[in-house]
Amino acid sequence: MKHIYQEGKEGKPTLLLLHGTGGTEHDLLPIGNMIDPDAGILSVRGEVLENGMPRFFRRLAEGVFDLEDLVVRTKDLNSFIGQAADDYGFDRKNVIAVGYSNGANIAASLLFHYEDALKGAILHHPMVPIRDKELPPLNGTSVFIGAGTNDPICPMEEAKDLKSLLEDAGAEVHVHWENFGHSLTRTEIGAAADWYHNKY
C-alpha cells in the first residue's frame, strides 16, 4: 500500500494514520505530530477509488458499506501493518490508529475483526463499520471517539452504538462530543491528544 513511514523515538507507539474519503497519506501528518511528535508514523493511502477519491473500502451509497469489500480490505490493511512492522522494525503490538471518517471506519473494522490489530485507536467521526458481528476480546484496548452532535454523515447513534459494541467486547472507550458537523476541529484533536497522553 502507498504509505509514509517516519521512525519514532525508542519505545514510543507507532501512529497508524488513516485519512478520510478523498484524502491521501499526507493529510493526517500534522495531526499525528500534534498528538505525539515523538511517535513513529505509518500513514497509509486507501486503495479504493471512488470517482478518483481514495478510500479504504467500497461503499454502495453514503453510509452504506460494501461489507464483503470491507472485510477483505480490513484483512489486507492488517497484513500490511504486520509487513511494515517487519520491514521497518517497529513494535507490531504498539500501534495506535488515528483515523478520520472513512479512515476511522476502517480502524474500527480492524478492532471488530482482529484481537491484536491495534493497541488503541483515536476515531474521529466514525460509524459502526459492520453490524451483527461478534467482536474479538478487546480487553486492554483503549478507544477515543470524537463525534459531532450534528454530524450529517455520522449520526449520534452511530458513535453511541460503536461505544457500546466496543465496551461489550472489553475495550475502554471515551467519547468526546463537538457540534461542528463532520468537521475535525482543533479542539477535538486537542481532546484526543490529552486522552492519548493520559494513556501512553
- Chain residues in the site for ligand MLT (CB under 6 A): 20-21, 59, 62-63, 101-102, 105, 127, 153
Whole-number Å distance between alpha carbons of 142 and 170: 9
Q: Out of 76, 91, 174, 182, which one is annotated catalytic?
A: 182
Minimum CB separation of residue 26 from ligand MLT in Å reads 17
- Closest contact distance (angstroms) between CB of 110 and ligand MLT is 14
Measured in whole angstroms, the distance separating CA 103 from the mean position of its chain's CA atoms is 5
Catalytic residue, candidates 101, 109, 125, 176: 101
Min separation Cβ 126 and ligand MLT, Å: 8
Q: How far is the CB of 48 from ligand MLT (least distance, A)?
A: 10
Contact between residue 141 and residue 170 where contact means Cβ atoms under 8 Å apart:
yes
Considering only the C-alpha atoms of the chain, give the largest distance between any 2 of them, rounded to a whole number of Å.
43
Q: CA-to-CA distance for 75 and 79, rounded, in angstroms?
A: 6
Of residues 66 and 116, the one with the C-beta less far from ligand MLT: 66
Distance of closest approach, residue 171 Cβ to ligand MLT, in angstroms: 20
Query: Looking at beta carbons only, is 118 or 127 nearer to ligand MLT?
Result: 127
Compare residues 40 and 54 and give the one whose CB is closer to ligand MLT: 54
CA dist 55 and 107 (Å) reads 12
Distance set, CA 69 to CA 22, 60, 79, 117, 186 (Å): 18, 11, 15, 18, 32
**69 belongs to the catalytic site:** no
- Per-residue burial over 47-70, b if 16 or more Cβ lie within 10 Å, else e, is ebeeeeebbbbbbeeeeebebebb
Of 64 and 89, nearer to ligand MLT (C-beta) is: 64
Tell me the residue nearest to ligand MLT as measured from the CB.
102
* Nearer CB in complex with ligand MLT: 64/132: 64
Tell me whether residue 151 is one of the annotated catalytic residues.
yes
Catalytic residue check, 91: no
CA distance linking residue 15 with residue 187, whole number of Å: 19
Give the active site residues.
Answer: 101, 151, 182
